Structure 1
Amino acid sequence: MKTKIYFDNDRFIAGTTLKNALELEQNNMALHTCVNVTNVLENRKKLAATLQCDLNSFICTQQTHSANFHKVTIADKGRGAQQMNTAISNTDALYTLEPNLLLCSFTADCVPVILYNEVNGLIGVVHSGWQGTVKEVTLKLLQHLMEHEQCKPQDFHVQIGMALSQQKFEVDVDVYEKFHNLGYAEDFMYFNAETNKYHIDNQQTVKKQCELAGIPSEQICIDATCTFLSPDGFSYRQDKQAGRHLSFIMRKK
């Protein structure tokens, strides 16, 4: 099972699966875009074995590029793990204080965000495509955690996962204006006069949202791997039939 582990200590494990030509459907992890559901379940079972957990520990959502988030409890265990219709609907971010639950986010160019709180053990994942970034899903989740879960920003560590690079993220003026209207993304965009396109760094914009929530910048890491350019990456922009990475985090105890 080809995975990239971002951190693995006595309390948390987090990482992402990678595209791999040797696996079924190149190691696609998404039930909503696959040739055969059985192939995806086989890939997920391999991941579960690698992480020494059970497939029914997975918690998955039906992602809709929203700013909606969900607090996971033990009652949610296994939702979306083996079939789409049990996944948590219309949700793009998850968090929990429970141990031994694998929070899942699926991407192929969008920005995955993985976070943990080293004091109270809270963990979370976010799916932030450009629409989610414009809706400030990461910022809204973090603000909620400060207000309702007694979290302090300095206790968070954030991993921003592999995504479409600024070089490859070309957009027209309509998307540029949405980022411009945020009021803090100007440094993460440039205009290419030859192609008449704007280029946006979605990862840096999400990092800025974490900083606006108060998280110290040195506690935010970015995986600079471009999903379009890397052989390890699934890219929807490159291939509309692309599979999906699964970014994950689990609290061990």
Structure 2
Amino acid sequence: MKTNMYLNNEKFIAGITMKDETEHEDNNMALHVCETPKNVIENRKKLASFLDCDLDTFVCANQTHSSNFHRVTLNDKGRGAERMNTAIADTDALYTYEPNLLLSSFTADCVPVIFHSEVNGLIGVIHSGWQGTVKEITLKLFEHLKQVEHCNPSDLHVHIGAALSQEKFEVDEDVYVKFKHLGYTDDFIYYNDQTHKYHIDNQQTVKKQCELAGIPSDQITIDPTCTYLHPDGFSYRQDKLSGRHLSYIMKKSD
């Protein structure tokens, strides 16, 4: 199972699956973009086996580039694991305190955010494509965790997963203006005079949102793998029919 592992200790396991030509549909993990659901379910079963859990521990959302998030409970166990119609609707971030639930997020260029707290055992995943970043889904979720869940941001560790690099994330003025309006993105944008395109670093923008929420910079890591340039990356920009990576985190039982 080809995966970039970000964390594996006695308490947590986290990472992102990568494209693998030896697996069904190149190791595509998403039911919403697949040739046949059976292939994706086989890939997920292999991932479950690799992570020493069962497919029914997966919790998946129907992602819509929203800023909506959901606190996962044991009642959500297995949602979206084998069928799209059981996934958590209209949601782009999941968090839980429960052990033995594999929180899942699907991306092909978008920024996946995986986080955990060593102090209270909180875990979560966020899907932040450029629309989610502009809607500040990461910042909104962390503000919610501070205010509603009374979580101390200095206890959080964040892994920003493989995504489209700044070199390959070129946009027109309409998207540039949306990022510019955030007020803290100037350092993460450059203009290409030849192509008349703006290039935005979505990973660094998301990192800034984590820092604005109070998470210490040295507790945030960024996977430098570009989903467009790296052979193990699924890229929607490069191939509209591309599969999806699955970013995951699970809290192990005590």
TM norm structure 1? 1.00
**Secondary structure of residue in 2 paired with 1:47:** helix
Read off the aligned partner of 1:168 and give its amino acid letter.
K
When structure 1 is superposed on structure 2, of 128-137 and 143-152 the one drifting more is: 143-152
**Secondary structure of residue in 1 paired with 2:191:** strand
**What's the counterpart of residue 232 of structure 1?**
232
**What's the counterpart of residue 185 of structure 1?**
185
Structure 2 distance, partners of 1:44, 1:75, is 20
**What's the counterpart of residue 87 of structure 1?**
87
Could you tell me how far 1:233 is from its partner in structure 2? 0.2
Could you tell me how far 1:150 is from its partner in structure 2? 1.4
Could you tell me how far 1:4 is from its partner in structure 2? 1.4
Read off the aligned partner of 1:86 and give its amino acid letter.
T
Structure 2 distance, partners of 1:208, 1:240, is 29
**What's the counterpart of residue 125 of structure 2?**
125
How do residues 150-165 of structure 1 correspond to structure 2 at under 5 angstroms?
A: 150-165=150-165
Moved over 6 A (4+): none
Post-superposition Cα deviations, 1:162-186, rounded to whole Å, max 9, x if no partner, equal: 0000000000000000000000011
**What's the counterpart of residue 10 of structure 1?**
10
Structure 2 distance, partners of 1:142, 1:15, is 20
Structure 2 distance, partners of 1:28, 1:43, is 7
**What's the counterpart of residue 104 of structure 1?**
104
How do residues 50-65 of structure 1 correspond to structure 2 at under 5 angstroms?
A: 50-65=50-65
Could you tell me how far 1:146 is from its partner in structure 2? 0.5
Could you tell me how far 1:136 is from its partner in structure 2? 0.2
Structure 2 distance, partners of 1:7, 1:249, is 9
What runs of 5+ residues in structure 2 fail to find an aligned partner?
A: none
Post-superposition Cα deviations, 1:190-249, rounded to whole Å, max 9, x if no partner, equal: 000100000000000000000000000000000011000000100000000000000000
What runs of 5+ residues in structure 1 fail to find an aligned partner?
A: none
1:77 counterpart = 2:77: yes
**What's the counterpart of residue 212 of structure 1?**
212
Could you tell me how far 1:149 is from its partner in structure 2? 0.9
**What's the counterpart of residue 172 of structure 2?**
172
